[in-house]
Structures are given as structure tokens and as C-alpha cells.
């Protein structure tokens, strides 16, 4: 996939317009740069970035021939969302009956709250955050709803997922959509545990109901910004990064964001560089109204900014290209760590983990040398 | 065509969901996860079928809204209804 424009500013105009429409602004005519000559290219680009639903709704008003090109993908994405939301409805009803609280995360939460139309925002699964003590009950509910647990990746056994705040994955026997992930925490993975100190408990306390009469809760708008930013960078801006950046653009327009609180929390959690990287990229490509003071407070030093610019090339994001090599992705994760001593801890514990981590990872007694040798053999060092 | 007479009603089959996107719509059959897109007139007919007391009255409302020969509209409506039934998206409740 390549971007259908030669100028990043044109992309920003188009993406900003989409974000405004996503947040509920009236669509009035075509924005500058929206009606490009190469409509097929623009349609393919929007579809490739999972933005067909939002693009279709805007194009219906602004550029009907473009809407025609997007209709198939948009209807398909809407059908996928229908399936996901039907599954969510059944799970939510059962969790309410069992009095198991949960917070809806990521796509389903943002599509169902910040976007004007839930079909604007495609999703690949449904992410539910439950308290660790409620996980057995939530697993029983998922099974009762007709879902079956999917075996995790070999390097992510369930016990390790529990320690890392990871997830258990469930899916229907026959359906491709309606995949449910039950998360132990809002912040998953070893990077955040080794290199930062994110306060997931405070996110839970600030969460709000999805809507009147709903059992499901969602993150507060500020926490949704932080969580989306964290999720984007911890995945090295892969997995539909423009859709994630669009989420930030829509959240910042749909709510009156307290950007000071965003900056305060990111700094307290030692996620300043990570959050800055995501917000700065979103601000340049989509536009985040009012975020400038927060960006100024989170901005890392000039050398690190230069390194991050090289590691997160915006042109590559627009063109749909991943941060390429594994080595480069590792460098990015190191460059995102706020404190130098956390870099040492992250690298040290990755190569030389705690005995309980080895037990959880391998399910049997493995020495640290054995673990290190395995990493080297797999080319992960 | 027999569907368009009398007071038979059309209802979505259980497990069929609909999402209207502006003037178009998508119907999803959950079990098979197959979906079916409706154009503007198909979407309007679907919306009327879901609310009108009978198929006949839904088609009559369409006739009042569109400048088209009655026979032509009835033929197209019957064809779409038949297709939706064949695809397991719609069922007819006999009066």
C-alpha cells in the first residue's frame, strides 16, 4: 500500500476531517484535498488502513463516487461489527447476572462511545478487562455464551499472561467474528512492567458506564487517550496504526480532554516518552486540538526526539509500512523508556529473569542460562 | 408475486441483524456470518417491511414514494423478498 498523496499536510487535512466527522461534526462538502483525482487509490488506501467505514460515511456527503468505491468494504466492516457487538451483548448480559464488573477497552469501547456511529470504527475483537479474582467467573461466562478458549502462543502460556496482565482469548466455534479477549489488566506486557509504573487501579476507579443502563464500563476520556497511546507504541505502531491514531483524533474531539491530567499521569507512570511519541505522531497526522501544552510537558530531549523520528517514520505509517526490522523495533522499545536505569532493568530482566518468571514461561524448571541460550538460538538477542 | 397480496407480514429470521449506513444497509446472518448489502431502494423496502402491518402495505408505501410503474416496482420488490428468503434473512408470517 502506498499513500495517495505526496504531501503530508494533505493527508493531515483529510485525516483531520475524518476525525471531526467521526466525533460527530457535520460533514459539509469536500475538504481541500479530499476529492483527489485518483479516487481508486484513495479508496484502496482507506480500506488498507481499516478506515473504510468512516471514509464511507464522510464520502457519502462529500464525494459520492468515492463512497461507491468504499461501500463494499464499509458494509463488510459494519457486518463484522454487528457480529462483535452481538457477542458483547450476550457476554455483558451474563456478566451482569453474575455481578462481575468489567471495563471495555480499545475498539469496542471507543467505537461505542467516542465515534458518532459505531460502524465508523472497525474492530477485530472485543477486549474486556476484569479483575484477576473475577477471571474464573468471567471464563465460565464466556464458555456459557458459546465461546471456546483459544490456545495461546507457545511463548505466552496462561500463567505468564496472568503475571504480565495479558489476556485469555475466546472465539466462537464457527464464526470468525465475535472474538473475545479477557484481560487481566489494562496495561499488558513485560515492557510496561519492567520499564514503567502504570497505575491500572486508578484507571479502573475512574472508569465510567458505557451508557445508561449498561453494565459495561469504559475508561474516562483522559485514560482512554493514555491507554490508546500506550497500546499504539507498545505494538510499535503496527496493527492498523492509522486507525489507532484516528482513535486519538476522535477522542480529542469528542470530549473536553483535560490535557494537564494526561501529562501528569503519563509522567507519574514513567510513560512520558511513549505517550509523547503516540500523541505527537497523531497530532502531526490527524491533529489533536488543545494537546500542545501536554506535548510540551512530555517532550523528551532533542537527541531522543531525533532517534524516535528515525524509528517512527511518519511517511512509512501513512504508506502502511511497519517499522521494519526486529532490531529496529527493539531499539524503539528501548528509546521509549523514560529513565536510563529502567532501560538497564528492562534489558537485564529480559535476559536474566526472575525464577518465578521462568517457571511461568516454561512450565518446568529452566535455568537462566537455558533461557538466555534459547533467546540467542532464536535470534532474539 | 403471491407474497404481495393479502396481509402476510415479513420479519427477519432469528439471528439476522441489520445496520443501516445512510441510504444503504447490511444484513448479517449470524450463524453463517454471511452478509448481504442493500442499496437505497432495498434499504427503504427493508425498513418498511419491518414496520408495516403487511407486505402489501409496505409495497403500497413504496409506490407512493417512488415515481415508477406499479408492476415494475411490485416485480422488483417480490424478487428482492424472494432472494432475502432464499438467503435465510427473511421469513413470511402468514396472516
ipTM value of the model? 0.81
Cα angle, residue B12 at apex, residues B8 and B14 outer, rounded to 5°: 125
- pLDDT for the residue numbered A330: 85
pLDDT for position A324 = 59
Scan for cell 487501579, then name that residue: A201
Inter-chain CB proximity A75 and B37 less than 8 Å: yes
Query: pLDDT tens per residue, chain A (381 residues)?
Result: 667 776 788 888 889 999 999 999 877 666 555 556 688 888 999 999 999 999 999 998 888 899 999 999 999 999 999 999 999 999 999 999 999 999 999 999 999 999 999 999 999 999 999 999 999 999 999 999 999 998 877 777 888 888 888 999 999 877 777 789 999 999 998 999 999 999 999 999 999 999 999 999 999 999 999 999 999 998 888 888 999 999 999 999 999 999 999 999 999 999 999 999 999 999 999 999 999 999 999 999 999 999 999 888 888 888 887 665 677 888 999 999 999 999 999 998 988 898 888 888 888 888 888 888 888 888 777
Q: How far is A311 from chain B (nearest CA, A)?
A: 39
Chain A closest CA to B39's CA: distance in Å? 10
- Which residue's entry shows cell 471495563? A103
Is the CB of A82 less than 8 angstroms away from the CB of B28?
Answer: yes
pLDDT of the residue at A362:
87
**What pLDDT score does A378 carry?**
81
d(CA A118, CA B72): 36
* DSSP 8-state class, residue A164: T
In this structure, what C-alpha cell is assigned to residue A61? 456527503
Residue range of the domain that includes B41: 9-93
Model's pTM, two decimal places? 0.91
**Cell triple for A356:** 518465578
Residue B4 domain-assigned?
no
Question: Chain A to chain B, count of Cβ pairs less than 8 Å apart?
Answer: 46
Q: Containing H/E element for B91?
A: strand B90-93
B35:A76 CB<8 A: yes
Q: Which residues of B touch A117 (CB under 8 A)?
A: 21
The helix/strand/coil state of A21 is helix
Q: What pLDDT, on a 0 to 100 scale, did the predictor assign at position B3? A: 60
Burial class of residue B74 (count of CB atoms within 10 Å of its CB; 0-12, 13-18, 19+): buried
Question: Which one-letter DSSP state was computed for residue A290?
Answer: T
Q: What whole-number distance in Å separates Cα of residue A39 and Cα of residue B89? A: 33
- Taking an 8 Å Cβ-Cβ cutoff, which residues of chain A contact chain B? 53, 56-57, 60, 71-72, 74-76, 78-79, 81-83, 86, 117, 119, 174-177
Q: Which of B22, B24, B26 sits opposite A79 (nearest CB)?
A: B26
Is A57 within 8 Å of B22 when comparing Cβ atoms? Answer: yes
pLDDT at residue number B5? 67
What pLDDT does A33 receive?
55
User: Is residue A157 a contact partner of residue A110, using CB atoms and an 8 Å limit?
Assistant: no
B84 lies in a domain? yes
Shortest CA distance to A235 belongs to which of A244, A226, A223? A244
Q: How confident is the model at residue B2 (pLDDT cuts 50, 70, 90)?
A: low
Nearest to B33 among A71, A81, A175 (CB): A175
CA distance A123 to A332: 26
For residues A296 and A305, what is the distance between their CA atoms, to the nearest angstrom? Answer: 12
Q: Is residue B3 part of a domain?
A: no
**Domain assignment present for B24:** yes
Q: What is residue A214's predicted lDDT score, i.e. its pLDDT? A: 96
Specify the number of domains making up chain B.
1
CB A81 within 8 A of CB B26: no
User: Does B68 reside within a domain?
Assistant: yes
Name the nearest CA neighbour of A222 among A264, A269, A281: A264
Q: What is the pLDDT of residue A35?
A: 55
Comparing C-alpha atoms, which of B21, B37, B46 is closest to residue A122?
Answer: B21
Residue B68 sits in a domain whose CATH number is: 3.90.930.60
Residues linked to residue A378 through DSSP beta bridges, in sequence order? none
What's the mean pLDDT in B26-40? Answer: 91
- Please indicate, yes or no, if residue B80 is contained in any of the structural domains: yes
Average model confidence (pLDDT) across chain B: 90
Helix (H) or strand (E) run with residue B72 in it: helix B70-86
pLDDT at residue B6 is higher than 80: no
Cell of B90: 427473511
Cα separation, A286 vs A279, in Å, equals: 10
Q: Are A266 and A231 in contact (CB under 8 A)?
A: no
Contact across the interface for A119 and B37, Cβ inside 8 Å: no
**Is B26 within the bounds of a domain?**
yes
Q: Where are the alpha helices (DSSP H) in chain A?
A: 8-22, 39-48, 52-62, 64-97, 106-111, 135-144, 158-163, 190-195, 200-206, 221-234, 241-254, 259-268, 272-285, 292-298, 302-311, 314-319, 326-335, 340-351, 355-362, 368-377
Residue B74 falls inside a structural domain: yes
Give the span between the Cα atoms of B51 and B95, in whole angstroms.
15
Amino acid at each position: 500500500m502506498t499513500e495517495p498523496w505526496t504531501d503530508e499536510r494533505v493527508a493531515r487535512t483529510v485525516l483531520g476531517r475524518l476525525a471531526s466527522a467521526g466525533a460527530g461534526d457535520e460533514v459539509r462538502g469536500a475538504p481541500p484535498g479530499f476529492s483527489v483525482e485518483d479516487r481508486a487509490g484513495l479508496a484502496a488506501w482507506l480500506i488498507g488502513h481499516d478506515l473504510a467505514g468512516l471514509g464511507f460515511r464522510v464520502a457519502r456527503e462529500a464525494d459520492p463516487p468515492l463512497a461507491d468505491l468504499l461501500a463494499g468494504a464499509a458494509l463488510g466492516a459494519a457486518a463484522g461489527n454487528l457480529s462483535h457487538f452481538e457477542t458483547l451483548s450476550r457476554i455483558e448480559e451474563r456478566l451482569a447476572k453474575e455481578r462481575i464488573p468489567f471495563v471495555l477497552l480499545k475498539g469496542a469501547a471507543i467505537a461505542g462511545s467516542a465515534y458518532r456511529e459505531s460502524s465508523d470504527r472497525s474492530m477485530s475483537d472485543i477486549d474486556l478487562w476484569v479483575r484477576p479474582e473475577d477471571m474464573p467467573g468471567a471464563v465460565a461466562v464466556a464458555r456459557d455464551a458459546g465461546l471456546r478458549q483459544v490456545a495461546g502462543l507457545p511463548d505466552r502460556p496462561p500463567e505468564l499472561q496472568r503475571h504480565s496482565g495479558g489476556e485469555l482469548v475466546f472465539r466462537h466455534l464457527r464464526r470468525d467474528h465475535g472474538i473475545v479477549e479477557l484481560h487481566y489488566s489494562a496495561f499488558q506486557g513485560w515492557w510496561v512492567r519492567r520499564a514503567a509504573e502504570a497505575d491500572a487501579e486508578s484507571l479502573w476507579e475512574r472508569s465510567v458506564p458505557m451508557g445508561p443502563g449498561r453494565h459495561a464500563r469504559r475508561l474516562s476520556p483522559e485514560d482512554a487517550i493514555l491507554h490508546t497511546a500506550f497500546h499504539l507504541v507498545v505494538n510499535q505502531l503496527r496493527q492498523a496504526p492509522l486507525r489507532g491514531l484516528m482513535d486519538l483524533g476522535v477522542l480529542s474531539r469528542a470530549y473536553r480532554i483535560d490535557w494537564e491530567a494526561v501529562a501528569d499521569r503519563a509522567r507519574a507512570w514513567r510513560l512520558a516518552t511513549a505517550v509523547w511519541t503516540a500523541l505527537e505522531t497523531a497530532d502531526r497526522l490527524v491533529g489533536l486540538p488543545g494537546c500542545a501544552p501536554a506535548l510540551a510537558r512530555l517532550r523528551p530531549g532533542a537527541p531522543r526526539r531525533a532517534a524516535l523520528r528515525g524509528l517512527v517514520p511518519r511517511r512509512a505509517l501513512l504508506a502502511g509500512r511497519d517499522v521494519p526490522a526486529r532490531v529496529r523495533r527493539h531499539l524503539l522499545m528501548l528509546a521509549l523508556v523514560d529513565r536510563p536505569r529502567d532501560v538497564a532493568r528492562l534489558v537485564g530482566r529480559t535476559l536474566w529473569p526472575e525464577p518465578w518468571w521462568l517457571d511461568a514461561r516454561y512450565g518446568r524448571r529452566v535455568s537462566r542460562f537455558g533461557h538466555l541460550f534459547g533467546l540467542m538460538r532464536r535470534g532474539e538477542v | 408475486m403471491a407474497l404481495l397480496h393479502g396481509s402476510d407480514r415479513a420479519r427477519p429470521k432469528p439471528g439476522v441483524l441489520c445496520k443501516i449506513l445512510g441510504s444503504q444497509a447490511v444484513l448479517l446472518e449470524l450463524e453463517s456470518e454471511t452478509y448481504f448489502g442493500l442499496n437505497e431502494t432495498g434499504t427503504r423496502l427493508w425498513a418498511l417491511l419491518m414496520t408495516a402491518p403487511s407486505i402489501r402495505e409496505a409495497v403500497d408505501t413504496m409506490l407512493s414514494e417512488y415515481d415508477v410503474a406499479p408492476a415494475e416496482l411490485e416485480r422488483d420488490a417480490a424478487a428482492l423478498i424472494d432472494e432475502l428468503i432464499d438467503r435465510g434473512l427473511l421469513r413470511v408470517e402468514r396472516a
